[in-house]
Amino acid sequence: MLVMLGVIAPMFFVIVIGYLAGFTRRFSGHEPSIQGVLNSFLFYFALPSFLYTAVVEAPPTAGFPGVSVLIAGFIPVALAVAVFYACRLLGQKSWAGAGPVSLSATFGNVGYFGIPITISVLGPEAGLAAGILHMVHNLIFMSGYPVVRTAVNSAQADDGAARPGGFAHLWRTRLWPIVRRAILLNPVVLAMTVALVVVFTPLQMPDLVEESLGLLGQIAVPLALFCVGLAMHPAIAGLRSGGVPKRAVGLGTAVKVLALPALTYLAVLPLAGQLGPIWGGTLILMAAMPSSTTVFVFTREYDGDARMAASILVATTVAALVTLPLIAEFMLV
């Protein structure tokens, strides 16, 4: 445990540095702020470059087990549905926040947090697996939740009245732009697509481009962790505003840091020979990541109240300091 804690703790310390920086005038304030600029640079340049470099430079692994995509896609979605309806059993206030709870309990910080931790624990050969599973995870949640909530909110706004044009009009005007932005115009997806072409075909990028992307990619990990620390401020502000049912927070936190990695482990166990230690280990570590900061943004935009997501985000990030080293140590025994 102490060895794994030594690997992971410096990353948490960078988060702490980002959180402390958020108290200064330079790194706080209303949007547009330096936080928005840093996140934009990270999302559009540094993180895609890091992913490309990590995937392309990863030592070759024994093939691509397609079952890993099924595990990474099915288990979080099935668990999100289960958590959503479980909130009904926790009272009216929890049921009202079922959407944010289910998203927070299953949408992990697999990019900013998951990829660097996975590579640190399993080695550079995990780069390809981490990149592909990150892309699958984000495609499902970054398009799925906005589409579902937009459709639900639209139906509730209509209050049973027939919308002109029906679903076709809704898809064309509101849902398709979300899917297009989340998938076709997503810089991370584009970077991963180019990386997979380079890995699995004879095509290669010019050395000048490779070296430039490598330089940009070196910024991604520390900047991503620093931005997570900055994001703790609006999350904690939302938490302090009160009105969040503790049982729902406990449910979302327990599912994210315990149930999701445990179920993923149970799914990986009978397929260990097919997956191998790299793909199997990457699946489990990715499942063990704390909630994504994107959850806070999504629930504020689509649910109108980010306090529940903020509470689970803070709780899972703190809990992960204990659970991640334990899970990593358990896998390497």
| pLDDT per residue as tens digits for the range 258-273 | 999 999 999 999 999 9
Tokens 């209303």 -> residue: 30
Paired tokens of 113: 């947090």
Higher pLDDT, 25 or 146: 146
Q: Which residues, 6 or more positions from 196, have their beta carbon under 8 angstroms from its beta carbon?
A: 55, 132
How far the first Cα of the chain sits from its last, in Å, is 10
Tokens 């997956």 -> residue: 275
161 three-class SS? coil
CA–CA distance, 175 with 173 (Å, rounded to integer): 6
Check residue 330 and give its pLDDT. 80
Strand partners, 108: 291
- List C-alpha distances in Å: 307 to 43, 83, 131, 235: 24, 18, 30, 7
Tens of pLDDT, residue by residue over 193-241, are: 999 899 889 989 999 999 999 999 999 989 988 988 888 887 787 667 7
